[in-house]
Structure 1
């Protein structure tokens, strides 16, 4: 391809091709993207070929050996993410000017709030949908450091994570909490042992698995002198390590007790070893949030306030 050619302007057709390319890359291939895009594989292939011709770059390898992005494809994907996010922001700003609540709101969570009786995020979404039915919600689960980075960078509108070493670039609104206990899995030496015979030195002598990023989980494990032998990015992965019977780990009781009920886990010294996490909604301080984000934030706070929270 002629690398001396330049893309002199971006048209609506280019944005469409970039969205198709992004969907294919995130899905891991053309066939996997058919359901996401609701178009056939041959049409997707033509769109990718058109984009490669338009950019004068080979973006991906596709064929019997499978799908993979080229180095240029990886770079174009990163640039496309920024461009498409900017387009979304532009549309939201124009809709603000037109006083219409339409567009997309991007939200990421860290915790397992679906099983937390103190969390009323589903109810928040229900009420928000009533007030702004034309707004599309993008909801994802991310590690706390990723959430903070993406909110600060404008890739996310709202994050929900545990309060720990607040960033000066973010605003925090406390929402709900959860109780964290230490668990072991079936097959671990502590599982069938008498809890009365255990002490902190015993716990410190065995393998411990914890969240790898800056978090209350990391801080508490270090403070108690636990021997961390495995690191994870989220609580589902941590639950798997605990169930292996090879590691201890902290889980919220609303998640860990589900496994206890099935005879797969057991709390370790629950009267002595536990802590409580406080969760908050985070938004970036500058620029000010748009009307869509403010509405969701107000609804989220209202859902977690007062005696009738979550109703």
Structure 2
């Protein structure tokens, strides 16, 4: 029923805002109205969805399952709406795509151009672009909440198809005020670099620990923007993509540290679901035709 769908959308908004208060902005309704809707939904479902108190907002085990199933159902409804619109020769529905942060500084990054070409089509598609970390994007694809995402390739994953898109080179950088900033490449020895505090990337912690075990980690970040702030402070050494660091290097706020053994390439790929349980959403099928020409030939 329409009422059930309305209540479920309120539930999703509450979960994603992590509180009733936060959901007020998204839903544009008052706290008491949200509380009433959540109470009604729990009565209709027959179980408690969340706990609220001094310890904060927390989903129950059944609530967590209900959230995942609700997101999957709403995504299917959006795809259904798009399919029905397609029968009228009108492209509609919802297109949900994702990417990791700080790719837009790379001149080879094609997403803006692909969206421009897609928007030249006659359509009523609602596009949602999500910026998140790799693991969350992969989970969203597997659960059916997202159609596709641009992510660093780490390994093959059952249920996801990866297509090469671009590579980015990551190097060590330091900020103005760091002891290494004023030294030339010839003056810097790798053993000396290893003595300084490094920033660990929380979203790539296993990778950093495995491939760079000798580094002394004194700080942790969870996105590139945070890494940039730490490096600009002048107190740490850390990895940044060359294209992202270029702006601050040209302004003498950052400087690359030349260490050949501490350089690596990150392969970014276009990740999509290979599940055959449901037909491809018309909006995503149309976008895929546009995006296809930016991808390398599929050798798999």
Interval containing the TM-score (normalised by the shorter chain): 0.7 to 0.9
1:93 CA displacement: 4.6
Deviations 1:140-187 (A, max 9, x none): 112223322322332221110223333353322322333322111334
Distance 1:247 1:53, change over 3 A: same
State which of 105, 121, 130 in structure 2 corresponds to 1:115. Answer: 105
Q: Does 1:52 align with 2:42?
A: yes
Distance 1:116 1:101, change over 3 A: same
Q: Does 1:234 align with 2:223?
A: yes
State which of 251, 254, 258 in structure 1 corresponds to 2:243. Answer: 254
Deviations 1:76-96 (A, max 9, x none): 434433332343344445445
Q: 2: CA distance between counterparts of 1:278 and 1:132?
A: 33
Q: 2: CA distance between counterparts of 1:57 and 1:199?
A: 62
Deviations 1:37-59 (A, max 9, x none): 23444433332232233234444
Matches within 5 A, 1:181-192: 181-192=171-182
Instruction: Structure 2: state its 5+ residue gaps.
Output: none
State which of 250, 274, 281 in structure 2 corresponds to 1:290. Answer: 281
Distance 1:169 1:74, change over 3 A: closer
Contact 1:104 1:136 (C-alpha < 8 Å) held by counterparts: yes
State which of 147, 150, 174 in structure 1 corresponds to 2:140. Answer: 150
**Matched position secondary structure for 2:258:** coil
**Matched position secondary structure for 1:20:** helix
Contact 1:21 1:48 (C-alpha < 8 Å) held by counterparts: yes
Deviations 1:172-225 (A, max 9, x none): 23223333221113343212334321122222333333434569x937x74455
Contact 1:182 1:269 (C-alpha < 8 Å) held by counterparts: yes
Contact 1:213 1:233 (C-alpha < 8 Å) held by counterparts: yes
Distance 1:40 1:262, change over 3 A: farther
Deviations 1:63-106 (A, max 9, x none): 8x696245254454344333323433444454456654211111
Instruction: Structure 1: state its 5+ residue gaps.
Output: 1-10, 306-311
Number of aligned residues:
292
Q: 2: CA distance between counterparts of 1:153 and 1:53?
A: 26
Q: TM-score, normalised by structure 2?
A: 0.80
Contact 2:79 2:282 (C-alpha < 8 Å) held by counterparts: no
Distance 1:171 1:58, change over 3 A: closer
Deviations 1:210-265 (A, max 9, x none): 434569x937x744554152444322232233334343221112222233345442
Q: Decide which moves more: 49-58 or 20-29.
A: 49-58
Q: TM-score, normalised by structure 1?
A: 0.78
Quote the RMSD (CA, aligned, Å).
Answer: 3.3
Counterpart of 1:279 in structure 2 is 268
**Matched position secondary structure for 1:134:** strand
**Matched position secondary structure for 1:102:** strand
Matches within 5 A, 1:119-134: 119-131=109-121, 133-134=123-124
Counterpart of 2:292 in structure 1 is 301
Contact 1:183 1:267 (C-alpha < 8 Å) held by counterparts: yes
Matches within 5 A, 1:186-201: 186-201=176-191
Q: 1: CA distance between counterparts of 2:158 and 2:68?
A: 26
Q: 2: CA distance between counterparts of 1:137 and 1:266?
A: 38
Distance 1:213 1:41, change over 3 A: closer
Q: 1: CA distance between counterparts of 2:84 and 2:75?
A: 14
Deviations 1:109-148 (A, max 9, x none): 0141222211121121122122153111121112223322
Distance 1:194 1:141, change over 3 A: same
